[in-house]
Amino acid sequence: MPQQPHRPEALAWQIFLGSWAVRRGLLTAHQLRSSAWVRILHDVYADARLDRDHELKCRAAALCLPPLAVFSGPSAARLDGLGYAAGFSDEVHVTVPTKVRVGPRLGLRIHSTDLDPLDSITRDGLPRTVPARTAWDVGAWLDPVPAVAIIDGLLARGLVEAAELTALADRYADRPWPGSRRARRAFALADPGALGPAESRLRVRLLLARLPRPVPRPAIRLASGLVLHPDLAWPQYRVALETDGWYTDPGPIQRDRRRLDPLVAAGWIVVHVTSQHLRREFPAVVRQLREALVHRGWRP
């Protein structure tokens, strides 16, 4: 039977500085490298039984950051419950005041700026930006597709209201910060009706391809009284886009397609795409949608 790694009770289920544990005699440098522990950041270790997610990485970062540091951007969004905003392998985004000097650190993305007092809050022992400021930073720092997916999630969960984003954009209008234009564009692309990150990313990709703005999951009532909800639609042109699940088995795909047969019978054009189409043939999807929309009267 293999020998169990040494795990002192004082360190069980904990995050700790490796140098501190060695100085206290809790572990030797050799024991620190055993399978009982996982290295999160430089000199920061955790019990290997803990879930390896972005929150664990943030808690590890908190042990080696100055007191005025605040988790921000995707990291703040993850701490507020958006699991897809950042993963274990992603960098931890941290904002520090301009007067605080923090050198580059592997695994951390340091942003130097002075936050307004109302822009941060502490929950569960972790300081992070409030959701409105998180949305601004995400929009300023990230590419539009992942940025809008996070902003949509904040809106959909009621963590921030669209009016707050408008007020924030107005509040920062006279501040020439890097990324301000990107943040305002991301706000303009956001939609509180989005049902998930996959739909958000697809919608933004279509908008960046210069197609008209689609409506996510609209309720389309047919003459029979049946109400259908395609993934995305342009009701004024009677064109819809349905992502046929994320299946490889043809059975569920065919069931998805039959679900919207009544919509086709009512005179709608329904474009079906699969995850493979979106990954490998996105320009072809855009062309098909453009042709359908132009056929129905849209003029680019």
pLDDT at 243: 86
Burial of 160 (0-12, 13-18, 19+ CB in 10 A): buried
- Please report the pLDDT score of residue 76 as a whole number: 98
Q: Averaged over 164-173, what is the pLDDT?
A: 85
Tell me, what amino acid is at 236? Answer: Q
Hey, CA dihedral for 10, 12, 17, 19, is it positive or negative?
positive
Structure confidence by residue, pLDDT tens digits, 86-141: 999 999 999 999 998 888 889 999 999 999 889 999 999 999 999 999 999 999 99
Asked which of 29-38, 170-179, 198-207, 264-273 is least confident by mean pLDDT, the reply is 170-179
In terms of Cβ atoms closer than 10 Å to its own Cβ (0-12, 13-18, 19+), residue 215 is middle
pLDDT for residue 250: 47
C-alpha closest to that of 209 among 241, 235, 184: 241
More confident site: 300 or 109: 109
Fold classification of 209-295 is Endonuclease; Chain A (3.40.960)
Write down the domain spans for the chain. Answer: 9-50, 66-189, 209-295
**What is the pLDDT averaged over residues 2-30?**
90
Alpha-carbon gap, residue 129 to 94, rounded angstroms: 10
* 53: confidence class by pLDDT, cuts 50, 70, 90: very high
Q: Which of 179, 156, 159 is nearest to 169 (CA)?
A: 179
What pLDDT is attached to residue 171? 82
> What is the per-residue pLDDT across 237-273, written as a single tens digit (0 to 9) for each?
999 999 875 434 444 555 656 778 889 999 999 998 8
Through-space distance between the first and last CA atoms of the chain, rounded to whole angstroms: 70
In whole angstroms, what is the distance from residue 129 CA to residue 119 CA? Answer: 6
- pLDDT above 70 covers a percentage of the chain that reads 95
3-state SS record for 106-126? CCEEEEECCCCHHHEEEECCE
Average per-residue pLDDT in the chain? 90
Does 300 have pLDDT greater than 60?
yes
Its pTM stands at 0.88
Position 119 scores a pLDDT of 93
